[in-house]
Amino acid sequence: MRWLREHLVALVGGVVLVYLFVPIFLVVLMSFNDPATRNVYKFDGFTFDNWLHPCADPAMCDSLALSVEIGLLATLVATVIGTLAAFALVRWDFAGRSQSNLLIFLPMAAPEIVMGSSLLTLFVQGGFAGQLGFMTIFIAHVMFCLSFVIVTVRSRLAGMDDTLEQAASDLYATPAQTFWRVTFPLVLPGIFGAALLSFSLSFDDFIITNLNSGSEVTFPMYVWGVARVGLPMQVNVVGTLMLVVSLVIVLSGEINARRRARALT
Amino acid sequence: MADAGRRRGLTAYLLMAPAVVWLGLFFVIPFYSLVAASLYDPGGSDKNGWDMTYHLANYWTAIENYWQPLVRSLLYGLAATLICLVLGYVLAYTIAFKAGRWKSLMLVLVIVPFFTSFLVRTLSWQLILADDGWVVDTLQFLHVLGSDDKLLATDFAVVMGLSYNFLPFMVLPLFASIDKIDPRLIEASSDLYSNPFVGFFKVTWPLSLPGVVSGTLLTFIPAAGDYINAELLGNADTTVIGKVIQLQATTANHPHIAAALSMMLMFLIVAMVLVYVRRVGTEELL
């Protein structure tokens, strides 16, 4: 009883953590499901078919390819221009700095449906109603990823000790050398994290994309479309793969950080 | 000489320019488009164009027809935020104070489930809560649910889905705040004979308030605008404002109604946030 009282909080905390994994467990399980019918979604039998034939529905793989393409492009652009802005905000003092911070904060605080419908209104008013598609999705994704990139890189930069840079310049490194040999490698993990976040935001977005995509279909839109008629089990394969890939990336980052921390001490 | 403080100069503007231009063109200007569209003459159409007649009555039309989904969205958002606060607080507290050397691993585990697609996760809940699923069967067997009761396609399922999907937005800021609390303060309160409950509400809770405020905002705002959970886990009577806006902006082709509803949703959220932040009185928000 006493033990229970002392560990109650940790116990409930553990239960909450397990709860977070309940649907994920199901996604992994269902990726090995051999469904009897397409409408009734139940575990009927074990099979590797879904993994061996991921593109049984070519429309799913097309949507996946589109999502990856947009995700990579939007991440590239958002990460580059976001990193530039983060440097300006941390390292420079300029008129309009606090207004810029506000401008960056607002997209993170605005509901997606409002951003999506206002962007659609702009495109329609600008006469692009017929041209909704790849370009408009790309524009929207860079827009909502930018703030997250800036905030992530900014916090990495702000938390950085500048003694190493001072040491470099004391040792007669030119500003360019200091930047590329000292500053940039130190900020790189932050930039990498920002890119990862940006890709997953872009890859997973539904509400804004659904309003601005015209006839293009991204992966979340494909899932939305088939949700009513019965989901192909391959969707769960994609879900599992996303989980595995991100786990590998996150854990290798964690291991790297531990190894570096150990090397420093 | 070493660089002291921030540099000055025009370079900063060059570095800022691309991001500011992008956000200006595709975040700020669209907002003006939205204001304009919400005042269109309702008699317009895509074929004949939309006249700007400063038709404020659009807002009235929108409220009259859609006040229910609007209120429902805010209520769902509030309920989900409260549930997230309770669950998230316990989890964040556990990670900060009880996890020991597993701290960073547990933090990673909080985020990992959210790397699978939002829609796939929500559909997974559809399966768990299904009428003939084992959860419903078990609850019926235990007589928690009557034999005709169900979980899927109810308000309960929608709120559950929302609180599941936005939980990390609550846990991470809460953890950041709780982790900064010096555990000696809590020990001191129990040394001074406060019972654990009093100790919690007088020491831990007030010190974690910045995390509570940013966590609740990060959960409430997206939850109030979301329509994925209401559509996949709810029924025809759980339509939320996000879905109405989506339909009005596309299929129904009423940009003025979609715009008016978006404006009102935005306004209501901002108003609630302001009242809330003023009452809790934190300045560490930004």
Q: How far is B143 from chain A (nearest CA, A)?
A: 23
- Contact with chain A for residue B252, Cβ under 8 A: no
| Per-residue DSSP letter, B100 | G
CB atoms within 10 A of CB A133: 14
Residue ranges for chain B with pLDDT beneath 50: 1-4, 284-286
B195 in contact with A, Cβ within 8 Å: no
CB contact under 8 A, A118 and B109: no
Per CB-CB distance under 8 Å, the chain B contacts of A125 are 33, 36-37
A254/B23 Cβ within 8 A:
no
Specify the pLDDT at position A229: 81
The pLDDT value given to residue B166: 95
- H helical segments located in B10-56: 11-23, 29-37
The predicted structure's pLDDT at residue B143: 80
Structure tokens at B220: 């409430």
Q: What confidence category does residue A109 fall into, taking pLDDT thresholds of 50, 70 and 90? A: confident
- Cβ separation B221–A110 shorter than 8 A: yes
Q: How confident is the model at residue B281, as a pLDDT?
A: 63
pLDDT at A255 over 90: no
Match 């928000």 to its residue by tokens: B285
Greater confidence, A35 or A207? A207
Q: Verify whether the Cβ–Cβ distance B118 to A206 is below 8 Å.
A: yes
CB < 8 Å from A in window 92-151 of B: 93-95, 98, 104-106, 108-113, 115-121, 123-128, 130
- The CA distance from A85 to A118, in Å, is 24
Gap from B234 CA to chain A (nearest CA, Å): 13
Instruction: Provide the sign of the torsion angle of the four alpha carbons B30, B35, B36, B40, taken in this order.
Output: positive
- Is B225 within 8 Å of A21 when comparing Cβ atoms? no
The angle at the Cα of B163, spanning B241 to B239, to the nearest 5 degrees, equals 25
Which two structure tokens, joined as six digits, stand for A61?
A: 């793989």
What does each C-alpha distance from B60 to A178, B42, B196 come to in angstroms?
61, 12, 51
Q: Give residue B198's pLDDT.
A: 84
Q: Give me the percent of chain A exceeding a pLDDT of 70.
A: 98
**Residue B2 pLDDT:** 37
Confidence (pLDDT) at B1? 34
pLDDT of amino acid B5: 64
Domains, in order of start, for chain B: 65-280 (1.10.3720.10)
Would the CB atoms of A16 and B5 count as touching at under 8 Å?
no
Number of neighbouring beta carbons within 10 Å of residue B284:
10
Interatomic CA distance for residues A212 and A126, integer angstroms: 13
**Between the CA atoms of A139, A144, A149 and A151, what dihedral angle is there, to the nearest 10 degrees?**
140
Position A207, amino acid: I
3-state secondary structure of B49: strand
What is the model's pLDDT at position B286? 43
Residue A39 has a pLDDT of 58
Interface of B with A in 29-48 (CB under 8 A): 29-31, 33-34, 36-37, 46
Residue among A29, A118, A164, A233 with most chain B CBs within 10 A, to mutate: A118
> What mean pLDDT, rounded, does chain A reach?
89
Confidence at residue B9, expressed as pLDDT on a 0 to 100 scale: 77
Residues A30 and A232 sit within 8 Å (Cβ to Cβ):
no
Arithmetic mean of pLDDT, A189-203: 92
Give which of B120, B264, B281, B113 is closest to A113, Cα–Cα: B264
Q: List pLDDT tens digits, range A44-67.
A: 778 888 888 888 889 999 999 999
SS (H, E, C) A112-166: HHHHHHHHHHHHHHCCCHHHCCHHHHHHHHHHHHHHHHHHHHHHHHHCCCCHHHH
pLDDT > 90: percent of chain A? 50
Residues 6+ apart with CB under 8 A from A248: none
Distance CA B58, CA B8 (A): 48
Beta bridge partners of A92: B7
Separation CA B198–CA B85 (nearest Å): 19
Residues A67-104: pLDDT tens digits?
999 999 999 999 999 999 999 999 888 998 889 999 99
Asked if the model's pLDDT at residue A230 lies above 60, the reply is yes
What pLDDT does residue B76 have? 96
Q: What are phi and psi of A83, to 5 degrees?
A: -65, -40
The span from the CA of A124 to the CA of A130, in Å, is 8
The residue with tokens 């593109």 is: A55
Coil, strand, or helix at residue A17? helix
Look up residue B83 and give its two tokens.
């549930």
* Model ipTM value: 0.90
Residue A164 has pLDDT above 90, yes or no: no
CB atoms within 10 A of CB B105: 12
Among the partner residues A91, A210, A251, nearest to B7 by beta-carbon distance: A91
Does the pLDDT at position A40 exceed 80? Answer: no
